[in-house]
Amino acid sequence: MAFILIVDDESKMRHILKIMLSLEGHNVEEAQDGETALAMVREKAYDLVVSDIRMPKMDGFALLDHIQAMEVPCPVIIITAYATIDSAVEAMKRGAVDYITKPLEELHIILTVEKALGVSKILTENRELKEQLNRSIGDADLVCVSKAMEHLLETAQKVAAKADTTVLITGESGTGKEIVARFIHQNSPRAQRRFVTVNCAAITASLVESILFGHERGAFTGADRRKQGFFEYASGGTLFLDEIGDLPLEAQAKLLRALQEKIVQRVGGNEPIEVDVRVVCATNQDLDSLVKQGKFRSDLLYRVDVFPLHIPPLRDRIDAIVPLAEHFMRKFRERLSGRHLLTQGAKRILMDHAWPGNVRELANAVERAVILAGEEPITTEHLSFLRTSTVRTGTAEAWKLPPGGLVLETLERDLIHQAMEMTGNNQSAAARLLGITRSKLRTRVKQLEAFS
């Protein structure tokens, strides 16, 4: 169903058009002249305007000009009994999507309207894409509050223009690797197509090939139908492979072929499928080290590391901490009442904290402080939950034992809990944050549960 406005000084003509289009399931409203129609268009979003040319007060051409001058114009069909080639050309020059003449033929009217509504849909999608781009640029401004990030995004914008170049984004967990990947997509020639995210660490080894490349019906137990993989689904757009260091070796070989040949093959299938997709990868691991350990293919590393971008940790961007905190305060203020100003003491606590969870941890801390502060400014008291044992010493972190001592097992349990919170309960990522293996993390959790 579409919202259509009929504009004609002849009530009989408006009535006929309304019946025709209402029977097609559309919501149709009427205006007897251009001035009335313009006021209605300014008050309400219509999917299409169908307007006569010759009308009192304001003719169809003037109405068309006013609509085209709007920030978000809607498609206009010009309709008249005074058909000439000149008026048809004039209507199209001024921005009309189509031009039909009286006497009206019902089938022709319906087909012309459906065609114009297709244009309306495209305009709506373009508007939504622009809004997404603005949101993306807003996110980019968020990570661009330091000189380091400003330089990184300038570089990212250059590679974004190269629609086929593979990009590898490195950085610690929580630094904003996906935001940078989205920034690249939104500033690329592929911006109007899909941006598809795949978390390689969250996929089991047995399913990773099916998820990336798809499968045929009967390829394995439970494959009751053919399924398109993410490479096919993202074709024409950007595929973001997060945590690529966790990809199983067998899948790495097939990923290498997909990147080199732009061809994938579904699990259980024999037919090669061409795909047109830009791949952006991200990792918080040292891929060179994984290559030496035999956990990551060296030829795949060379293929994904075509254009590397490294996001520095928040502790190395001290100039970004307070501006980022203020950004998050403004964001959370929309949902929560209160002034939420930062006192100097609060700023000092934020700048002294080492932020092992980076921007994600900062956002969570600010939201918590905003809730605790209520209507009052945020003070050191509202940030007391930040662990004073993790403080900055130059660019390194130092662990300071409180004067009253501590219970080591309690501290360890608390650090594991923090790591799980920072990584959204992703055990592999939490283990990397703590500098241990996933199996060691699981073992230690069980031991600590036994102590409690």
The 10s digit of each residue's pLDDT in 370-386 is 888 887 888 888 888 88
Is 413 in the same domain as 368?
yes
Residue 134 has pLDDT above 90, yes or no: no
User: Under 8 Å CB-to-CB from 199, ≥6 apart: which residues?
Assistant: 242, 243
Is 151 in the same domain as 290?
yes
The 10s digit of each residue's pLDDT in 295-317 is 999 999 999 999 999 998 888 88
How many domains would you assign to the chain?
A: 3
Is 155 in the same domain as 268?
yes
Distance of CA 178 to the CA centre of its chain: 8
The 10s digit of each residue's pLDDT in 53-111 is 888 889 888 999 888 887 667 889 988 765 566 776 777 878 888 878 777 788 888 88
Q: How large is the average pLDDT for residues 260-282?
A: 90
Show which of 310, 335, 363 is a domain's final residue: 310
CATH code assigned at 153 = 3.40.50.300
8 Å CB contact between 25 and 1: yes
Beta bridge partners of 392: 397
Q: What pTM was computed for the model? A: 0.57
Is 27 in the same domain as 118?
yes
Is 94 in the same domain as 151?
no
What is the Cα–Cα distance from 150 to 143, expressed in whole angstroms?
A: 8
Residue 401 is predicted with a pLDDT of 63
8 Å CB contact between 408 and 423: no
* 294 confidence band (pLDDT: 50, 70, 90): very high
The 10s digit of each residue's pLDDT in 163-210 is 999 999 999 988 889 989 999 999 999 998 889 999 888 887 778 888
CB atoms within 10 A of CB 161: 11
Is 261 in the same domain as 326?
no
Domain limits for position 22: 3-126
Is 253 in the same domain as 167?
yes
Query: Which H, E and C letters describe 223-292, residue by residue?
Result: CCCCEECHHHHCCCCEEEEECHHHCCHHHHHHHHHHHHHCEECCECCCCCEECCCEEEEEECCCHHHHHH
Residue 212's SS3 state is: helix
* 272 confidence band (pLDDT: 50, 70, 90): confident
Q: Determine the angle formed by the axes of helices 106-143 and 147-160, rounding to 10 degrees.
A: 140
